[in-house]
């Protein structure tokens, strides 16, 4: 299975995700799985650690800003990865149900 390309997150987004864990008392797993957050657990964990050290503002500074073309390419790659995973699941389901119907 192909991996979904890495996302680019704004400073405010990271702060909101960390606030869910530190202020609202959610676990890191629960915070990263909120419908409006949905980041990987590793990223969420690193953001919380950076906030506790006081370096959350520096996270992502080394990332260069994306041009419109790069952003569109990243979006298309994410969409392709999602569609590919869905297709693979449907293939497996088809094989499974074909065996059951025999």
Indicate if 86 and 48 belong to the same structural domain.
no
What pTM does this model have? 0.44
The set of residues, in sequence order, having a beta carbon less than 8 Å from that of 14 and lying 6+ positions away, is: 47, 56, 59, 60
How many domains are contained in the chain? 2
81 in any annotated domain? yes
Would you give the end-to-end CA distance of the chain in angstroms? Answer: 29
Report the C-alpha gap between 76 and 101 in whole angstroms: 37
* Backbone φ, ψ for residue 47 (5° rounding): -65, -40
2 in any annotated domain? no
Taking 50 as the threshold, does the pLDDT of residue 28 lie above it? yes
Between these two residues, 19 and 28, which has the higher pLDDT value? 19
94 in any annotated domain? yes
Q: What token pair was written down for 83?
A: 């569609």
Indicate if 99 and 79 belong to the same structural domain.
yes
Report the C-alpha gap between 17 and 5 in whole angstroms: 20
Domain that holds residue 57: 8-63
76-87 pLDDT per residue, tens: 999 999 999 999
């Amino acid at each position: 299975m192909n991996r979904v390309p890495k996302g680019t997150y704004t400073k405010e987004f990271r702060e909101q995700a960390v606030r869910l864990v530190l202020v609202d008392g959610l676990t890191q797993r629960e915070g990263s799985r909120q419908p409006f957050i949905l980041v990987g657990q590793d990223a969420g964990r690193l953001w919380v650690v950076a906030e506790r050290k006081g370096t959350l503002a520096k996270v992502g500074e080394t990332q260069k800003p994306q041009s419109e073309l790069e952003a569109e390419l990243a979006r298309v790659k994410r969409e392709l990865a999602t569609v590919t995973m869905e297709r693979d699941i449907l293939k497996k389901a088809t094989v499974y149900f074909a065996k059951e119907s025999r």
